[in-house]
Amino acid sequence: MRESKPSSDPWALLGISADAGDDQIRAAYVRKIKEFPPDRNPMEFELIRDAYELLRDRRQRARHFLFSVDPRAPLPSMMEPGPRKRKYVGVGPWLAVLKEK
């Protein structure tokens, strides 16, 4: 897996909502790749690919949604103040994904 930093809002990059399912994420990725092929737009293609790699795994997606960080980075301390980029919509479903094994 590449070590580049994913986009701060992969949902907006793919043009989907934060509650999109796996099929919707895959369809949005395919649609964007057709719109921005790698041979014509290499920079845009890398951003789209990084966003898809982040969102295709349910655990990484949940972690990014809850903490707005790169899921490969260490978890931030809950005591440290930090900006919250998303409005509160409830964390029950997202926490359930993080607890899955």
Of the CA atoms within 13 Å of residue 91, those in its CB half-sphere come to 12
d(CA 29, CA 32): 5
Average the pLDDT over each of 39-43, 77-81, 93-97 and give the range with the smallest value. 77-81
For 37, 45, 82, 97, the CA distances from 63, given in Å and listed in that order, are 29, 23, 15, 9
Contact 44, 36 (CB under 8 A): yes
Is the confidence at residue 4, as pLDDT, over 50?
A: no
Of the CA atoms within 13 Å of residue 57, those in its CB half-sphere come to 14
* Distance linking the first and last C-alpha atoms of the chain: 21
Query: Which whole number is the average pLDDT over 3-8?
Result: 50
Q: Is 68 left (phi over 0), alpha (psi -120 to 50) or beta?
A: left
pTM for this predicted structure: 0.62
pLDDT score recorded for residue 66 = 75
| Confidence label for 100 from pLDDT (cuts 50, 70 and 90) | low
Q: Which domains does the chain show, CATH number per domain?
A: 10-99 (1.10.287.110)
Contact 75, 67 (CB under 8 A): yes
Question: What percentage of the chain exceeds 70 in pLDDT?
Answer: 57
pLDDT score recorded for residue 81 = 56
pLDDT single digits (tens) 28-65: 999 999 999 999 999 999 999 999 998 998 888 887 77
